[in-house]
Amino acid sequence: MMSLSPVTAVRSVVKRFVPLVLAGAPMGREPRIGTVRAEDKILLPAQGATMDDCCRIAELLYGAPAAATALTIGLVELTSDVDLAVTAIYTTSGKDGGVSIAVEQIAAKRL
């Protein structure tokens, strides 16, 4: 899950999804490379927030909601014309019911 909030007024945010493992199949293991397989665009108002989780990413990659998501590993690239506050929240759950969570603040990078 990832949350975004703009520092200033309404801005366009482009989100690109690059799967490296898609539904359990390695797509980007050497010598192959992962490429953009889905893209999403939103308008985000100042002090607003949104998130992308595994369900939304699966929906964009497969074209429909996925009932049960097989292992998918990849990258999310965010592009905006303003700085964004980005918080990445990584969660996993095991067959035994155990849950793991990690939270990271992602620094902006100018291209």
Instruction: Output the pLDDT for position 3.
Output: 59
pLDDT digits (tens, 9 = 90+) for 8-19: 567 899 999 999
Please determine, for residue 32, whether its predicted confidence score (pLDDT) is greater than 90.
yes
**Three-class SS state of 65:** coil
Residue that the structure tokens 């035994």 belong to = 96
Q: Is residue 70 part of a domain?
A: yes
Domain span at residue 47? Answer: 2-106
How many domains is the chain partitioned into structurally?
A: 1
Please determine, for residue 6, whether its predicted confidence score (pLDDT) is greater than 60.
no
Q: What is the mean pLDDT of residues 49-68?
A: 84
- Token pair for residue 16? 């690109």
Counting every residue written for the chain, the total comes to: 111
Beta strands at 50-52 and 25-26: parallel, antiparallel or unpaired: unpaired
Higher-pLDDT residue of 53, 17: 17
Q: Is residue 111 part of a domain?
A: no
Closest CA to 71 of 11, 29, 14: 29
CA 55, 70, 85, 43 torsion: positive or negative? negative
pTM as predicted: 0.78
Q: How far is CA 60 from the centre of its chain?
A: 11
Cα 65 from Cα 53, distance rounded (Å): 12
Q: Is residue 66 part of a domain?
A: yes
